[in-house]
Chains A and B, each alone.
Chain A
Amino acid sequence: MSGGASNAVLSVRDLNVRFNSEDGVVHAVRGCGFDILPGKTLGIVGESGSGKSVTALAAMGLLPETAEVTGSVRLDGKELLGLSDKAMCRHRGNDIAMVFQDPLSSLTPVYSVGQQIIEALRIHHPGMSKQAMAARAVELLSMVGVPGPRDRLKAFPHEFSGGMRQRVLIAIAMANNPRVLIADEPTTALDVTIQAQVLEVLHTAQDETGAAVVMITHDLGVVAGMADDVVVMYAGKPVETGSAEDIYYNPRMPYTMGLLGAVPRVDVADKASLVPIDGIPPNLVRPPAGCSFAPRCPLAEEACLQGEPELLPVGGPEESGALPGSGAHQAACIRTDAVGPGVDVHELFHAPPVPVSCFDAVPRQERRTVLELRDVRKHFPLTKGSLIKRRIGTVRAVDGLSFDIREGECFSIVGESGCGKTTTLLEIMEFNKDQDGEVAIGGLSNKAASDARTRGAMRRELQMVFQDPTGALDPRFTVFEVLSEPLENAGMAKPAVRKRIMELMELVGLQPDHVNRFPNQFSGGQRQRIGIARALAVNPRLVVLDEPVSALDVSVQAGIINLLDKLRAELGLSYLMVAHDLSVVRHISNRVAVMYAGKIVEIGHVDTVFDHPRHPYTRALLSAIPVPDPRLERTRERIILRGDLPSPLDAPRGCNFATRCPVFAALPAAKQEKCLTAVPPLGPEAGLQAGERAAGPDQQFACFFPDGEIDADMLVFHEASDLPDLRSTTPRTEKMKGTP
């Protein structure tokens, strides 16, 4: 076991990391090992706290002094553990480099981007001339797709957007052509469209340098398309390893199966419940007696508690001794036979049945409207100068939004950050008559009346669940106080309040006798349940959900989504949801609106919009989302948008998407003129007769050239070598009807 594959660039053996914390010794990594070959990609997946980052930092020698690291990390056969910091510096940034999650804090704000790249070069190549270094820096920046690299060298990190900063970090990491690049959640903080760009950049960088990449992420979709091999970590230990196909199509450990069942898919209309994994990961202060997953495992039996299962080949004993990264499929479970492709994961984890709302059978037109927005606008003045404020422009955060939500329906708004989703929600929550546009909640219009009583009535119709479950609960309130606040405010009597609170706890799946606890005594998922219970306290008809699951781990997220689904059906609730995770949106929404720069660009029934997107932006957005299916992911075409949201200052006069539109880029100049001068209205397919419109699909879009041909430069295939012809002949021909 000590040698490992001889040609591996990085081989990690029996890595153990312990931290001394106030509560005792945290055993953060407990025997992690893998090999990685040049040019290959290894994906490490796991929930937060499973030890992914600590493993990476240990390999880089970046852990604090207080950490106790044992085992072996070999780079080209040379042991890295135990090297002094000075000796390690020779390798770090040279043979082995790292990209972090948060691009802002990893760049020094006081130095220009160019200086930082050159610094990385100078450390390892002191002899290089100034001109050579500058030239190399420009080359690196253009490799990672920073436009105008020569001028951008002098820019400072704060002048870049998140995606651009992440590119700069990749450029710095690739500066010395490292043998190994470790990327720790490189895209978690980014929007999907930007994520697609950055993943693409990583791909190019790997192609050009032949580096081995260790891709650390919690998102099973991100690794599916990239990784050759995958390691699934749980409680500091690899619990299943194998090729990407083994892991995704033939998981043999209940945890892996559960994880795969817990993520909703953006590409399937199937509305089966998600697989919830009950409980929370173990506390790493106490070493588990048996299998660390046993407390949450539906297959756990007595034998699982007798010692921790070893990572063993699932195919049979003939491959024993193989290491993760060598492609052999291994799982740390004594019941691998009971799991596999033939087992229904929903049955295994007791996923609840799909809830059916009494409204589902009623046609949409016949249901009551609970919320209606008519031409709502919110513009912020953009000023410059600190003493005398000059108005230099207007930020059209929300620009003429109209939609309605019917009873029992979940309506979602999706779009990149900064497109105006949150502002829309705030406009609805503010509800006063000075607003630009009309907001009607349960028939009460903001224009008609805004005395305290109407507003009170409106508040009872409409409640909100926040993104960060921790920040949304007063840390000084017990759960009882949290839940009693809206009830007391509504004037309910004390005994009734108590009764209602017990009901609510039951409703959201919390133990009623935990009402005396403070929020910090609950896990993230339970806190979100408290938030939901508070929103439901006064029996609202509409609940506004602001990114309700984005702060939660996948396995916990599934439970919350199932709960929201159940509540919608049982209580006849309507939801207005804002989310950036389109898979989640597809799973729980009935209708969806895609927003871009303050405007709705496409709206309609969720399946229609997701299966047949018409607007180029929707198409790009959907193609950017990675799906947890390696084969599909590798052959999928992807529309990579250029750049970020346009700055509000140079907002185009015509279609506001023209600056990034992949269809626009492919149009002949004569047709481009139309996009640049006229604003496309939101409406159903043009040219339909009135009768056809009503009968047609529930879908409206704002584009003059729906389904237009996509500019070839913005289309990307991975594994282009395997599919030689596809790049030039766009395979989306079935959707290429209409305008060439």
Chain B
Amino acid sequence: MTNLNAIDPAAVAEEARIENDDVVMAKSAIILRRFLRNKTAVAGLVLFLALTVFSFAGGFFSAWDKETIDPFNIGMPPSAEHLLGTSQAGIDLYALTVEGTRISILIGLVVGLVSVLIAAVYGCTMAYFGGKVDKVMLFVLEALIMMPALLVVAVATSGGGDGLRENVPSWLLLIIVLLVFSWMGSARLIRSLAMSLMQRDFVKAARYMGVPARRIVWRHLVPNIGSLLVLDITRGVTGAVLAEVAFSFVGIGIKVPDVSLGVLINQATSQVQTFPWMFWVPLVVMFLLTGSLAMMNDGLRDAFDPGSGSVGRARRKGK
């Protein structure tokens, strides 16, 4: 290419790299390469995976579990025997953190994934059928958005939900309630996106080439909404983790004996002065968790969205 861009050494390198690549590459390889190019995102992914592994396998590295009380160490700071110290009840904090992290990640992942799935199906259905179907579904959606989530959570997990609480663990209840209230925003977004996509020239082009409708939806609509979905998932997971902490913090989310990061933080707040480690350990884990997701977000957008200027980023670094 004979433009001045070519004088830039980084651009030349990029050019040469693209040219030396095997001519036809798989799409997934391109996406992966774009993701890997963003170092922050890769760090985020590693961190998130490490936390997940820790929450499942962490228990094996400690002799204690979240129920055993150590009567000789009550409210002790970190020591050789209890890596992260113990709680006021004499339970090993390391074991509690592992358990709490697992519950938090579980809530986050389930709520994040399932709510986006519901949103995608609901949103695309609205856009696809349009007309009356769209109107009715939109009304339901708006009505749900109006409902105060906090109140419902409070009722479901405490007083009003007594019967339920006997049979269902509080974390599952929280997941269900969070799910009910988390998908509407995305659904509305996906609906309008899908609607505008159906008007685009490339969809028309495919129609005029005689590509069947099913294939157009699958090959053009879904992938174009796809990057939004991926971003929505990471955002949804973060949102759910934070919502759990918030609800548990005000005492209406997860209930003891179940533990979660929110429960741990909540229990420790009253005694930050005397038992600082009880407060800081779960808080740091929570930050690592949400932070790793935020770091991944950027890289995922670059990887899936060709408009995001991932090439520009590479050039900038080269300067």
Contact = CB atoms under 8 A, between A and B. Distances in A.
A and B assemble together:
yes
Interface of A: 22-24, 278-283, 286, 288-289, 292, 295-296, 429, 455-456, 459, 462-464, 466-468, 471-476, 478, 480-481, 485-486, 489, 498, 512-521, 534, 538
Contacts of A475: 224, 305-307
Given A468-B201, A475-B224, A489-B209, A516 B4 contact: no
B193 to A, nearest CB: 13
B7 interface: yes
Interface stretch (B19-27, B107-115, B234-242, B247-255): B19-27
Contacts of A283: 3-5
A47 B305 CA distance: 29
Given A480-B24, A485-B209, A489-B211, A292 B4 contact: yes
Nearest to A235: B4
Given A24-B319, A521-B311, A474 B220 contact: yes
Given A466-B205, A485-B219, 6 more contacts: A282-B3, A295-B3, A462-B208, A471-B202, A475-B306, A498-B24
A478 B8 contact: no
Given A464-B205, A515-B24, A282 B5 contact: yes
B224 A513 contact: no
B209 A518 contact: no
A455 B226 CA distance: 31
Given A279-B2, A478-B27, A286 B209 contact: no
B268 to A, nearest CB: 42
Nearest to A305: B7
B49 interface: no
Contacts of B151: none
Nearest to A464: B208
Interface in B1-36: 1-8, 18-19, 21, 23-25, 27, 30
B312 interface: yes
A730 B103 CA distance: 89
Contacts, number: 106
B210 A296 contact: no
Contacts of B223: 474, 476
Secondary structure class of chain A's binding surface, majority of residues: loop
Contacts of B1: 279
26 contacts: A23-B312, A24-B319, A278-B2, A281-B3, A288-B4, A295-B6, A455-B210, A466-B205, A468-B201, A474-B224, A475-B224, A475-B307, A476-B304, A476-B306, A481-B27, A485-B206, A485-B209, A485-B219, A486-B209, A513-B23, A515-B24, A516-B18, A516-B21, A516-B30, A520-B307, A538-B209
A429 B226 CA distance: 29
B214 interface: no
B316 interface: yes
Nearest to B24: A480
Nearest to A23: B312
A292 B202 CA distance: 35
B132 interface: no
Contacts of A518: 306
A478 B205 contact: no
Contacts of A472: 201-202, 205
Interface residues on B, range: 35 or more
Determine which residue in B201, B206, B226, B315 has the highest number of CB atoms from chain A within 10 A of its CB, and name it: B201
B224 to A, nearest CB: 6
B19 A513 contact: yes
Nearest to B21: A516
A517 B18 CA distance: 9
A586 B174 CA distance: 70
A602 B8 CA distance: 54
Nearest to A537: B209
A280 B2 CA distance: 8
B306 A286 contact: no
Contact of A519 (B224, B306, B316): B306
A431 to B, nearest CB: 9
Nearest to A457: B210
Given A476-B306, A516-B23, A520-B307, A22 B312 contact: yes
Contacts of B319: 24
Contact of B4 (A278, A295, A473, A534): A295
A534 B205 contact: yes
Interface in B197-226: 200-202, 204-206, 208-211, 219-220, 223-224, 226
A288 B316 CA distance: 17
Nearest to A278: B2
Nearest to B202: A474
A295 B11 CA distance: 15
B16 to A, nearest CB: 11
Nearest to A284: B4
Interface in B299-319: 304-307, 309, 311-312, 315-316, 319
A679 B69 CA distance: 100
A463 B208 CA distance: 7
Pairs of residues from A and B, 4 with the lowest C-beta to C-beta distance, nearest first? A518-B306, A282-B4, A459-B210, A472-B201
Contacts of A22: 309, 312
Contacts of B316: 23-24
B185 to A, nearest CB: 23
A459 B7 contact: no
Given A517-B18, A518-B306, A520-B306, A429 B208 contact: yes
Given A279-B2, A280-B3, A534-B205, A471 B200 contact: yes
Nearest to A282: B4
A323 B97 CA distance: 75
A516 B208 CA distance: 24
Contacts of B200: 471
Contacts of A512: 23
Nearest to A501: B24
Contacts of B311: 521
Residue of A296, A429, A463, A521 ringed by the most chain B CB atoms within 10 A: A521
Contacts of A516: 18, 21, 23-25, 30
B290 to A, nearest CB: 25
A534 B206 CA distance: 10
Contacts of A471: 200-202
Nearest to B23: A513
A483 B184 CA distance: 37
A463 B220 contact: no
Contacts of A463: 208-209
Of the candidates A459, A474, A534, the one having the most CB atoms from chain B within 10 angstroms of its own CB is A474
A283 B205 CA distance: 32
Nearest to A452: B210
Contacts of B312: 22-23
Interface string B116-154: 000000000000000000000000000000000000000
A296 B18 contact: no
A21 to B, nearest CB: 10
Nearest to A471: B201
Given A481-B27, A518-B306, A459 B201 contact: no
Q: Which of A289, A462, A471 has the largest count of B CB atoms less than 10 A from its CB? A: A471
